[in-house]
Amino acid sequence: MRKIIFIMIIFCVSMHLINAQSRDSTAFHSCEATVICAIPQLLTGTNISSSEMTSIIMQARNDNIILTNGKVANREMLAERVLLSLRRTEIVVTFGSDQLIRGALIGYIIEISSNNESHFVLAGTDRRPIFNPCNVNGSIVSTQEVYVNAR
């Protein structure tokens, strides 16, 4: 448990540094992207460097996986890119209840509304937050299941 908490702290610091360094560049991203990128790292117990994260985010923006408004257009593809960076090809992360093969439920992405803005939080299977990159609270707008599958 301590290792996971340490990894989450390192990840939060990395995300903060990326955001601070990239406010005026295409690397800037949303808390939705941050939450999705955290899932493979928390799942594997391994984190990637801030330079790797910046590269993944910038490429995802170029490929319209992350849109200019910060919305993630393809959550599976973004999670896949982080898994590839971690050299973990034996698993896949999927989202939503409409998956044909759901795999093991590992948590939820919860969208919350605060001050007329959407924010995203990663929650465990008990729907309690385990990662809130923006440290924002508000009313729940939607939830989406997160699954892990073997390839």
Residue keyed to tokens 């698993």:
91
Instruction: Kindly tell me if the per-residue pLDDT of 109 is higher than 60.
Output: yes
Total structural domains within the chain: 1
Q: Is the pLDDT of residue 126 over 70?
A: yes
Q: What is the pTM of this model?
A: 0.81
For 48-106, write each residue's pLDDT tens digit: 998 999 899 999 999 999 998 889 999 999 999 999 999 999 999 999 876 566 689 99
- The pair phi, psi for residue 8, each rounded to 5°, is -65, -40
Asked whether the predicted pLDDT for residue 26 surpasses 60, the reply is: no
pLDDT band of residue 116 (cuts 50, 70, 90) is: confident
118 pairs with which residues across the strands? 113
- Residue 27 clears pLDDT 50, i.e. is over it: no
Q: What string of H, E and C letters represents the secondary structure of the chain?
A: CHHHHHHHHHHHHHHHHHHHHCCCCCCCCCHHHHHHHHHHHHHHCCCCCHHHHHHHHHHHHHCCCECCCCCECCHHHHHHHHHHHCCCCCEEEEECCCCCCCCEEEEEEEEEEECCEEEEEEECCCCCEEECCCCCCCEEEEEEEEEEEEC
- Look at residue 5 and tell me whether its pLDDT is greater than 90: no
Range of the domain at 78: 2-150
Kindly tell me the sign of the dihedral angle through the C-alpha atoms of 114, 117, 123, 126.
positive
